[in-house]
Amino acid sequence: MTAVPASQPVTLPAVLPDLPDVADHRIAGKATVPAVELLELLARFAAGHMGWGDSLPLPLAMTDVVFPRFLLVQAVPRCTFAVRLASLETGLRASLTSTIGLPNRMKRLREHAVATFAPPPSPPSASPAPDFDFEIEADRVYRELIPFGPRYRNLRGTIRLGRAGATGLVRSPEPPRRPPPLAGCPFLLDAAMHLACLWGQRYAGYIAYPTGFAARVLHRPVAAGERRCVVAPRFVSPRRVLCDLWLSDEAGVLCDAVTGLTMSPLVNGPAPPSWIALAGAGV
């Protein structure tokens, strides 16, 4: 991707794609559009604006990504969506907003996802090989810790965790997405964030959700498949887990890397079960 000259922003109407299984993605008991689906929508608008066609120029980075507000599925029919695109010297800034018109009130504008599409800032580092002190089966994770429905239960097999990180297998559900996603299978990155959430439940002592990340570098995105995921924490506080994650293929070749992933708990959100949490044990 080459740098483009700065220009006046443009705002385009947007329609969310049909996501028939999104009811399986629930946060605090409410069906919520996954953040990765919002990134896919922004990628399609970026591709159209830049003339990339049906494939992204690789490697490609999404930087300074923020998810300011959850998008509840029940609110979607009442929303009018738009994508704002601004060409900068460093790339293309894209944001997704919704507007809800309330009876006898002013319209309410909300921002749900923001990202800059740009050349990778630097080659991502190799994923670490952390030591582990705990193992858990993915089936139990989804039964007791991350209560999503079947379509979003995409951690598979045995998951290994330690204070220095976690590793597990992620696999896209069948049948695969149609049409094929542009920015890689959203289910794989979503499940990788489940692994980060699981690490936070054990070692930070709270249930955290993604609120943004510094950079995601796409090397070999796939429409469907299987990846080995590694999560490594960088910073933990009472209200934030900062970590990196890597997705690699069966040969260990890096496919997708996220740096500076921020995970935060809900205000007054529930605590994880006592059997998983080691809050206060240190990292």
Residue 140 burial class via C-beta count within 10 angstroms: exposed 0-12, middle 13-18, buried 19 and up: exposed
CA distance 28 to 72: 11
In the chain, the largest separation of any two C-alpha atoms, in whole Å, equals: 59
Mean pLDDT of 47-59: 92
CA distance 210 to 263: 4
User: pLDDT tens across 74-94, in order?
Assistant: 999 999 999 999 998 889 999
- 22 band by pLDDT with thresholds 50, 70 and 90: very high
Pairing of strands 91-100, 108-118: antiparallel
What angle separates helix 186-203 from helix 35-50, to the nearest 10 degrees? 140
| 169 sits in which H/E element | strand 165-171
Cα-to-chain-centroid distance, residue 34: 7
Cα-to-chain-centroid distance, residue 281: 27
Q: List the one residue out of 252, 254, 181, 193 whose CA is nearest residue 223.
A: 181
CA distance 262 to 204: 13
- 278 band by pLDDT with thresholds 50, 70 and 90: confident
DSSP string, 172-230: --SSPPSSPPSSS-HHHHHHHHHHHHHHHHHHTSS-EEEEEEEEEEESS--SS-EEEEE
Q: pLDDT higher for 12 or 178?
A: 12
Pairing of strands 26-27, 165-171: unpaired
Q: List the one residue out of 72, 80, 82, 81 whose CA is nearest residue 11.
A: 82
User: pLDDT tens across 260-269, in order?
Assistant: 999 999 998 8
The pLDDT mean for the chain works out to 91
User: pLDDT tens across 191-248, in order?
Assistant: 999 999 999 999 999 999 999 999 999 999 899 999 999 999 999 999 999 999 999 9
Number of helices (H), then strands (E), in the chain:
3, 14
Least confident of 5-14, 17-26, 44-53, 100-109: 100-109
Q: What are φ and ψ of residue 267, in 5° steps?
A: -65, 125
CA distance 190 to 74: 21
Q: HSE on the CB side for 172, CA within 13 Å?
A: 20
pLDDT beyond 60 at 50: yes
Q: How many CB atoms lie within 10 A of CB 61?
A: 24
Domains of the chain, by residue range, sit at 15-58+66-115, 134-265
Q: Do residues 201 and 269 lie in contact, with contact meaning Cβ atoms separated by under 8 Å?
A: no
Tokens representing residue 274 in the block = 């006592």
pLDDT beyond 60 at 282: no
User: For position 8, what pLDDT does the model report?
Assistant: 81
- 3 band by pLDDT with thresholds 50, 70 and 90: very low
**Check: CATH 3.10.129.120 for 134-265?**
yes
pLDDT beyond 80 at 37: yes
Mean pLDDT of 55-67: 95
